[in-house]
Structure 1
Amino acid sequence: MSESTSASLSDPLKRIVELPGVSEAVEETRTIVDRLLGHRILRRRSSDVSMESSLRGACASAALEGAEVSMEEIRAGHVYDTRIKGALRASGELGTLVETWPKAPRQALARLHTLAAADAVSEEALGRPRLEGERVEDPLGLGPAPGPEVARARLEGLYGLLGARSSVPALVTSSLVHGDLMAIRPFGWGDGLVARAAERLTLVERGLDPKSLVPSELGHQTLKDEYVPALRGYMSGTPEGVAGWVVYCCRAVLAGAQDSLATCEALKRG
C-alpha cells in the first residue's frame, strides 16, 4: 500500500483535498488571508477590525435569509428584524465557543441556534434538533429537508468530523460544516444563520483566522448568485459537486478577507 493510499484511508477527508481545483483554491485563499493577518494596522487596531468584520458578517448573513438592513442602521442600533438580531447575537459570541467547538460540538451548535433563534421560536425549540411535523423554513429554496431521524444521524456524523483532528486544511473542514448544516437544516428555523456562523467558527478554531477578522458570511453575500447552485452541487454528493462547493467557499472566504483588507486600509488612512 502506498503512503498516499494509506493517508487517504486514515483520513478520508484527504480525498476531498485531492479533487480538481480544491488545493489551488485553498492556497489562493490562504495567501490573501495571510496578507490580511500581516497587515501593519492590526498591531494597534486588531479589535476594531474584528468588530467591524463581526458586524458586516452578521448583516450579510441576515441578508441571505431575506432580511433587509443597512450597516448604518445596525451601527445606530435600529435593529428589529429577528433574523438580524439573531445573526448579531451569534456573531458576537463566536469567540466564547472556540474552545467548545472541537470538544463538544453538539453543545456549541445548540448554543449557536439558541442565539440565532431566541426571538423566533418557542423556548423549548431553542437549541434542539427539530421534531417530526415541525416546519422547516427554506429561504434559499433548496427544497425538502431530510426527516428528523435522518437529520439526527447526519448530525452525529458531523460531530464526529469536528471531533477528529484531521490534517486537512481549515478551509475544507469549514466548507463541509457549512454544506452539511445547510443540507441537514437540523433546527427548522435559522439554519442558514447557524451554518454560516459555524463555518466562521471553524475557520477561527482551526487556526486559519485566529482573530476572527474574515467576514466569510459577507463573501457568501458577495457571491450570492453562486451560493444556491454551489449548495445544490454539494447536496448532490458527486465529486464534482463537492469540489465545486469547496472551491466556492474558498472564494467566499477570499472575498471576506479582501473586505477586511479594505477596512485595514481605511483605518490606516485615518
Structure 2
Amino acid sequence: MRAREALAAVHRRPVNLRRPEITGAEAVLRGARAGALIDGADVTLGETMEESSVLARHIDVYSLLAPEVVQDTARVFLRSPLQVLARMDVLAGGTGRPDRAAGELSVLAATVTSGADPDLLPGVIHGQLLSVSPFGQRTGVIARAASRLAAVAGGFDPRGLAVPEPWLNRHRAEYLAAGEAFGTGSHGVERFLVLHMRSYIAGAEEAQGIAAAL
C-alpha cells in the first residue's frame, strides 16, 4: 500500500528516529491550521490562534494529538472512543454530547473496539463522522482529529507525523462531497477511503518536508 510505505519512510528519517516529538508537534500545528481553513476560517497559515476563534478551537482539539499526550489519548480511544470524542467536542465548543445520530456513534465505537483493520480504520472513522455529522458544525475538526488519533492507535501512523489536512484543504470540494457520500453505500465508502489514502500519501510528503527543514 502506497500510503503505508510513504509513512514508513517518514518514520525512518534520522530526525524522526531521534526526536520524533519535534516533527510531531509541527505536524499537529500544521494540521490544525489547515483544518481551520477547511472549516471556513478567514486566516492564513501564518496567523496565530488569537486571530481566529475557529483556528483556536482547532488548536484546542488537536492538543489531544500533541506528542506528549497522544499515546495516552490513543490508548483511551481504543478502549472508550466515545469518551475521547466527547472531550474533543468540548474542546471544539460543544457540550460533549452529540447533537444527533447517537446510535451511529455507538456503532462507530463498536467498530473501534472490535479491532478493525488498522489501515482502514482512520478513514472509516473520518468518513462515518462526516456523513452523519453528530456534532453539527464541530464535526469536521472532530472527524479529522479522531482519524489521526486512530492512525496513531492502530499503528498506521504510530507517531502522528503525517499531515493530510493541507491536501484535504486543497481538494476541499471533493473531500466534503466524498464525506457526504460515505453513508450512501459501498461505492460511497470506497470513494472516501481512496481519497483518504491519497491525503495520507500527500501528508507523508508534507512530513518529509518538515523533517528536511530541521
Q: Establish whether residue 220 from structure 1 lines up as the match of residue 168 from structure 2.
A: yes
Give the deviation of 1:79 after TM superposition: 2.4
Moved over 4 A (4+): none
| SS across alignment from 2:50 | coil
Q: Distance in 2 between matches of 1:231 and 1:189?
A: 14
2:198 aligned residue (233, 247, 251): 251
Does the aligned pair in 2 maintain the 1:83–1:190 contact within 8 Å? no
Give the deviation of 1:106 after TM superposition: 1.1
Q: Distance in 2 between matches of 1:55 and 1:198?
A: 15
Q: Establish whether residue 261 from structure 1 lines up as the match of residue 211 from structure 2.
A: no
Give the deviation of 1:223 after TM superposition: 2.6
Q: Establish whether residue 128 from structure 1 lines up as the match of residue 76 from structure 2.
A: no
Q: Establish whether residue 42 from structure 1 lines up as the match of residue 22 from structure 2.
A: no
Aligned residues: 209
Give the deviation of 1:210 after TM superposition: 1.4
1:203 aligned residue (148, 151, 166): 151
Give the deviation of 1:41 after TM superposition: 1.9
Gapped regions of structure 2 (runs ≥ 5): none
The CA RMSD measured in Å over matched residues stands at: 1.5
Give the deviation of 1:229 after TM superposition: 2.8
* Seq. identity, %: 29
The amino acid that maps onto 2:172 is K
Q: Establish whether residue 180 from structure 1 lines up as the match of residue 128 from structure 2.
A: yes
Structure showing greater Rg? 1
Gapped regions of structure 1 (runs ≥ 5): 1-26, 118-124, 131-147
Structure-2-length-normalised TM-score: 0.91
Deviation by residue 1:128-172 (Cα, 9 ceiling, x = unmatched): 111xxxxxxxxxxxxxxxxx3xx1111111011011012x2x231
Q: Distance in 2 between matches of 1:40 and 1:58?
A: 25
Change in 2 beyond 3 A, CA 1:50/1:42: same
The amino acid that maps onto 2:211 is C
Q: Distance in 2 between matches of 1:62 and 1:83?
A: 6
More helix by share: 2
Q: Distance in 1 between matches of 2:97 and 2:137?
A: 11
